[in-house]
Structure 1
Amino acid sequence: MTYNSIGLNTFKTEDLANDLNHLLANFQIYYQNLRGIHWNIRGKRFFDLHVKFEELYTDATIKVDEIAERILTLGATPLHTFEDYSAKAEVKVGKNISEDDKAVRLIVDSLTELLKIEREILEKSGDANDEGTNSMISDFITEQEKTVWMMKAWLNETI
């Protein structure tokens, strides 16, 4: 077995870096969706949602950077073109969404997809003894589960 300079199995880190690039692509689509609904939201809830969506896209920007830097830490290259993001992402693109319910539903659906990907990465990072990736992904999951709960409460739905 070959180990890299941070003590991780190189075969397992290659696999994790690929999975993190998949997550990165999906996060970039999620981020762009948030920008779009932030810009286009209308209606009586505009002021509250406009601020909330900005909070979410600011957080997504930080997470995108953390994911890319983790990929680099593992010795790989982060994806960085919209072509790559579109080709690899499962998060649906939300185009011209201005209604509050549709915007919040897009967030819930996007986070649900991100959580699926993150749980797969969490399992692999645990198996690889990759505490750095494990910790980052665990933190993402904790925050996103709470956001899903809050958004579903706003939609008057249960988890």
Structure 2
Amino acid sequence: MTLNSLGLDTKKTKELANQLNHLLANFQIYYQNLRGIHWNIKGKNFFDLHVKFEELYTDANMKVDLIAERVLTLGETPLHTFEDYIKQAKVPVGHNVSKDENAVALIVTSLTELLKIERHILNASDDANDEGTNSMMSDFITEQEKTVWMMNAWLGKSL
């Protein structure tokens, strides 16, 4: 086994960086969806949701940066083109979403996909003894689970 300067197995680190790039691509789609629903939301819930969607896209933008910087920390290059993002996207692309329930449902669906990817990375980073990636995924999962719960509560649904 060859170790990098972080003391991590180089083969496992490269695979983790690939998985993080997959997450990065999906986060970029999620981020863009949030921008779109923030701009296009209409109806009686406009004021509350407009503010909430801005809060979510600001948070997503910060997470995009954290993911990209983690890829760099692991010695790889983060994806940075829309072409790459679209190729790797599991998160659905929201087109012209302006109805409140559709917008919130898109967030729940998107976060559900992100959580699947993050749990996979969490397991892989644990196996690689990569505490930096593991901690990041754990933090993301905790926050996003709460957001899914809140959005489902707004929709009148249980988990």
So what's the TM-score if we normalise by structure 2? Answer: 1.00
Q: Could you tell me which residue of structure 2 aligns to residue 138 of structure 1?
A: 138
| Aligned counterparts of 2:51 and 2:120: Cα–Cα separation in 1 | 31
3-state DSSP class of the match of 1:148? helix
Q: Could you tell me which residue of structure 2 aligns to residue 121 of structure 1?
A: 121
| 1:118 Cα offset (Å) | 0.2
| Aligned counterparts of 1:58 and 1:95: Cα–Cα separation in 2 | 20
Q: Could you tell me which residue of structure 2 aligns to residue 63 of structure 1?
A: 63
Structure 2: segments with no counterpart, 5+ residues = none
| Aligned counterparts of 1:6 and 1:16: Cα–Cα separation in 2 | 14
For residues 92-107 of structure 1, the aligned pairs below 5 Å read 92-107=92-107
For residues 2-151 of structure 1, the aligned pairs below 5 Å read 2-151=2-151
1:64-106 CA distances to partner (integer Å, 9 max, x unpaired)? 0000000000000000000000001110000100000000000
| Aligned counterparts of 1:79 and 1:140: Cα–Cα separation in 2 | 20
- Amino-acid identity (%): 77
Give me the CA root mean square deviation: 0.2
| 1:6 Cα offset (Å) | 0.6
| 1:156 Cα offset (Å) | 0.2
1:11-54 CA distances to partner (integer Å, 9 max, x unpaired)? 00000000000000000000000000000000000000000000
3-state DSSP class of the match of 1:15? helix
So what's the TM-score if we normalise by structure 1? Answer: 1.00
3-state DSSP class of the match of 1:150? helix
The residue identity in structure 1 corresponding to 2:84 is: D
